Every structure is written in C-alpha cells, then in structure tokens.
Amino acid sequence: AQSVTQLDSQVPVFEEAPVELRCNYSSSVSVYLFWYVQYPNQGLQLLLKYLSGSTLVKGINGFEAEFNKSQTSFHLRKPSVHISDTAEYFCAVRKAAGNKLTFGGGTRVLVKP
C-alpha cells in the first residue's frame, strides 16, 4: 500500500516570499505523483504531476516540484507567492498501474500581506 506524508500542516508566508511544501511518500511499486490545490469551498484543482522523465516538473500558477526517488520526496515550491495562493495543498500518489489516489493530510498555506 502507498502512503503520503505532508510534513507541515500549516505554512504561513509573507507575500512575494518563496514557499516550499514538503511531501514524502512510501510505496513498494512505481508511482505517479501529483499536487492538487483546494481553494475555500471548492474542489481540487491539479497543479502539476510527475509521471516519468525530467524530475523537475513545472505546473500552473508558477509552481514547480522536484521528484527525488532516493529520498522518496516530491516537494512543491514557488519562488514568490501571492495573496491568491492562500489555499490548502494536497500531495497525492497513484500506483502506475492503478487508479485511485492516496492523499497526504494537506498543508494550509496562508499568505500574509
């Protein structure tokens, strides 16, 4: 079975500062990795995904993530955040041959002016 750990439940950050959200996973088989964002009272929106190839993945809204197989990590970064980035962020994995997503517990990002 897969598991996902998001090490920070909350991350306060000032506007225009960089942010990094940490995600570690555990799996005995090959997995695909995803980051989703959830704005208040909305569903989940895909930010980016890693399937194969380059370990540095660029997504929407200026976010990027790096897959590190040896450290089983998939940390999300943004060099300069905006107030509108205030949301909850979820890391998720899926078995390459599977279908269902396994999510981490989420990280709430609060961007302060």
Partner 1 sequence: GAGVSQSPSNKVTEKGKDVELRCDPISGHTALYWYRQSLGQGLEFLIYFQGNSAPDKSGLPSDRFSAERTGGSVSTLTIQRTQQEDSAVYLCASSLAQPETQYFGPGTRLLVL
45 or 71: whose CB is closer to partner 1? Answer: 45
Q: Note whether 15 and 3 are within 8 A (CB).
A: no
Q: Does 7 bind partner 1 (CB under 8 A)?
A: no
The residues near 15 (Cβ < 8 Å, ≥ 6 apart) are: 81, 82, 83, 111, 112, 113
Question: Rounded to the nearest whole angstrom, what is the least distance from the CB of residue 24 to partner 1 in the complex?
Answer: 16
Q: Binders of partner 1 among 26-85, rule CB under 8 A?
A: 32, 36, 41-46, 49, 51
Q: Does 100 bind partner 1 (CB under 8 A)?
A: yes
Q: Does 90 bind partner 1 (CB under 8 A)?
A: yes
Question: Rounded to the nearest whole angstrom, what is the least distance from the CB of residue 56 to partner 1 in the complex?
Answer: 18
Report the SS3 class of residue 113.
coil
Residue 30 token pair: 């090959």
Catalog residues that contact partner 1 under the rule CB under 8 A. 32, 36, 41-46, 49, 51, 90, 92, 94, 99-106
